[in-house]
Amino acid sequence: MNTDSKNLSNSASKEDNDEIDLMALLFAILRGWKVIVFFAVLGLVIGVLYSRYVNPTFKSDALIQIEENSKGVAALGADISELIGSEVSKAQAEAELIRSRMILEPVVNLLHLRIRLSDPNIGALDRIKSNSTDTQINKPEGVSLKTEDGEVQVSQFNVSREYLNQPFTLTRSATGFVLSNGFDDFKGQFGKAHQFRGTEGQIQITVNDLPAGGYPINITKQSLQITTEQINSALSVVEKGKQTGIIQLSMTGANQQQTSLILRQIVLSYIDQNQSRGSEETTKTISFMETQIPALKKKLEDSEAIFNEFRKKYGTIDVGKEAELLLTENSQIDAQLNELKLKKADLTTYYTEEHPLVIQINEQLAVLNDRKNEIDDTIAGLPEIQREFLQLSADSTINREIYLTLLKNYEQLKIVKAGQIGFARIIDLPISTYRAIAPKKLQIIILATLLGAMLGTMLVLLKNMLRNVVKDPERIEAKTGVPVVATIPRSPLLTRLRRNKKAPNRLLAYVDNNSLSYEAIKSLRTNLMFGMPVQGRAGQRAKVILITGESPGVGKSFISSNLTEVFAQLDKKVLIIDADMRLGELHKTFSMSQDNGLADYLSQDTTHLSRDNSEVSKIVATQDANSLASFIHPTGIDNIDFMPRGQHPRNPASLLANGSFDHLMTELNLHYDYIIIDSPPILAASDAMILAQHADKVLMVTRYDDSIEGQLVYAVNQMNKANIQVDGIILNDVQQGIMSKYSYHYSYAYGNNN
């Protein structure tokens, strides 16, 4: 075979192994369907209980529009607005402002949100039974909570800092109420404000009503920080869309009416604060203008009087074109200087000299003053009368323009103040829909069921990984080096009978003789017949078969008893020995007693065993009660004798190794065609290694999908270390069906269904 062919073969083998691994994983999940279903049902139950335990959650929404901020300084003119720059309120900044204590604290105080009432008598079972529980209602009048024995009403509860976040208990008394914190008891009357002094500070409380019958109610005064954090955890403030200026406020809570009320007050608190902020700026600007207008008017009147006197004295002067241009420019500079000085004066009412806007105006003033000085130097060369005329005319014109501009802006700001509404307006106030948004019971139940099924699947896979059980005969042969000589299917009928623990064990021939299990036992018999020597050990008639297992519960007694029965069908004399002197139960299969068995024989006085074989043969033939025959019992089944385990000895392994068992086997080999020995498990005791010295065939039974693969391999290795060859492995209790990947190993078998 060339290299390419080898590569293709290896690749195909690898793909086949991968497919087998995936199939094994799938069938492992299918075999663990009971575990998966259990956890799915458990998840379903938990989901149902949780959906009933959690109170319904309601939601309220509101919309606010953030408009362009029209500040009072904008009324000073376009030039100033351009200089200062238009400041537009950012929606994100306003969203954070809504979450601040400046906005939330008035709401907390108005609705007494720091007072927390709870009913300690409501437990988890009560919440599950009722599906929802009453929650406290906060109103400007006070806080209330309904209970099964009445309603709690508290209109005031203030405590010192030391008592914040500490629980108190309110109970009704004969004369009013009792307030207790575990150390102090304060008594008061309903409807009256009380002030108590405790060990840690002052307490002010007004209780209007309490449940009857001494029904306790827990009351706590929370700190402002905790209360605002709780509000913010339930409050969502986001801009709707991108740069739309529309802020959406959403709030969730256990009571629809309460949630809508709190959100409404938050919106109103923000709008009030926003309006106050806008009108305050306008008021400051108007106040500044009112102080400047009289001074500018007086200055204008003085400049006009001086200019009129000059004209009367000198008459009209014809100013040259150059002088007129210089005068015009100088006038413009003076106007700009005065406007900048006015702006600076206005800005210094809000900012310091170090503010960037003030620094910018100072720089512009310096540039204009430099230019004015140049023009003044030029005008200085004009005739004195013309220069004075120009100066007085310019002063009069500038003062008039400044005065008229300021007066116009003043009147405009008065109109703006009258219509001041702030830059935020309410679009939608919250309304109560009374539609619960949570819990979404169907989704919770489905999700809990899926999570439970996933957990069950993970446990099945984890168990499959950690507990590598015996399944694949080919894998067993590869791991142990021992051939699997038979796979015995499970007998459904026998399995149903065994569910009744009081029912005796039965042979397949009398319970399910048409089953695949019985046919598999016969196939094992055929395998052993052709695989064993024609004659037993030298000088022996019997062929000895040792049946053992790696651990208890693998079904070795089931295999031994049924294999004995099918050998007896060949008209062969068969003896079955229960060599498990500790826990053997073969006597139950044959409905016999365990007394007078192997342990009793090995424990008796063995001096008579030294007699010659002919004498022992006579004893067996005559069935003397003190001879070997007294420990071997007929089963009532043709050709089958049975030696039970006997009374439990203290040292079974020592009894097997002292030579008595050797003598026993020597005698028995002369009288039986087949001797089947049911031995203890290899990993539980060393008896099997001793018994195997007398066997022609050593077979190890392992249980499908139950025995641990590592234990089986270890048991085979232990036998090999003792120089004992395990001749074959019997895979017992193989379950046939679509969930079993390896069911094809026995699917060819069939029974007599006629």
**85 vs 93, higher pLDDT:** 93
Q: Report the pLDDT averaged over residues 657-679.
A: 87
Q: Report the pLDDT averaged over residues 529-558.
A: 79
Tell me: pLDDT of 116 over 60.
Answer: yes
Q: Is 555 exposed, middle or buried (0-12, 13-18, 19+ CB in 10 A)?
A: buried
Confidence of residue 278 (pLDDT cuts 50, 70, 90): low
DSSP collapsed to 3 states, 467-489: CCECCCHHHHHHHHCCCEEEEEE
Highest mean pLDDT among 357-371, 563-577, 604-618: 563-577
Tell me: pLDDT of 505 over 80.
Answer: no
- Determine the 3-state secondary structure of 14 from DSSP: helix
**382 vs 467, higher pLDDT:** 467
What is the pTM for the complete model shown?
Answer: 0.54
Q: Report the pLDDT averaged over residues 332-341.
A: 84
Least confident window among 207-221, 291-305, 478-492: 291-305
Q: Report the pLDDT averaged over residues 487-511.
A: 77
Order of strands across the sheet that contains 633-634: 484-489, 728-734, 697-703, 543-549, 674-678, 574-578, 640-643, 633-634
Tell me: pLDDT of 40 over 90.
Answer: yes
Q: Report the pLDDT averaged over residues 164-191.
A: 93
Name the nearest CA neighbour of 523 among 703, 731, 677.
Answer: 731
Confidence of residue 419 (pLDDT cuts 50, 70, 90): low
Q: Report the pLDDT averaged over residues 707-712.
A: 87
Share of the chain above pLDDT 70, in %: 82
pLDDT tens-digit map of 601-647: 888 754 444 444 444 344 334 433 346 778 889 888 889 999 998 88
* Distance from C-alpha of 250 to C-alpha of 442, rounded to nearest angstrom: 24
* Distance from C-alpha of 51 to C-alpha of 441, rounded to nearest angstrom: 5
Provide the pLDDT for residue 534: 62
Tell me: pLDDT of 498 over 80.
Answer: no
Least confident window among 137-141, 295-299, 690-694, 695-699: 295-299
Share of the chain above pLDDT 90, in %: 32
Tell me: pLDDT of 659 over 90.
Answer: no
Q: Report the pLDDT averaged over residues 280-302.
A: 80
Alpha helices in 254-351 (DSSP H): 256-314, 321-348
Provide the pLDDT for residue 83: 41
Provide the pLDDT for residue 24: 66
Q: What average pLDDT does the chain have? A: 81
Provide the pLDDT for residue 427: 92
Highest mean pLDDT among 255-264, 357-366, 546-555, 688-697: 255-264
Provide the pLDDT for residue 701: 92
Least confident window among 35-49, 270-284, 374-388, 543-557: 374-388
* b/e sequence 155-175, b meaning 16+ C-beta within 10 Å: bebebeeebbeeebebbbeee
Q: How far apart are the first and last CA of the chain?
A: 52
Provide the pLDDT for residue 604: 79
Q: Report the pLDDT averaged over residues 144-160.
A: 94
Quick check: 698 and 724 in contact, CB under 8 A? yes
Provide the pLDDT for residue 18: 43
* Distance from C-alpha of 178 to C-alpha of 215, rounded to nearest angstrom: 11
Least confident window among 306-320, 594-608, 736-750: 736-750
Least confident window among 155-164, 278-287, 364-373, 574-583: 278-287
pLDDT tens-digit map of 432-475: 888 989 888 899 999 999 999 999 999 988 887 777 788 888 88
Provide the pLDDT for residue 322: 60
Tell me: pLDDT of 740 over 80.
Answer: no
Least confident window among 24-33, 123-132, 385-394, 643-652: 385-394
Tell me: pLDDT of 143 over 90.
Answer: yes
Confidence of residue 268 (pLDDT cuts 50, 70, 90): very high
- Give residue 650's identity as a one-letter amino acid code: R
Name the nearest CA neighbour of 334 among 308, 280, 306, 373.
Answer: 373
Tell me: pLDDT of 674 over 70.
Answer: yes
Q: Report the pLDDT averaged over residues 344-370.
A: 82
- How big is the chain by its Cα radius of gyration, in Å? 53
Tell me: pLDDT of 136 over 60.
Answer: yes
* Distance from C-alpha of 483 to C-alpha of 476, rounded to nearest angstrom: 8
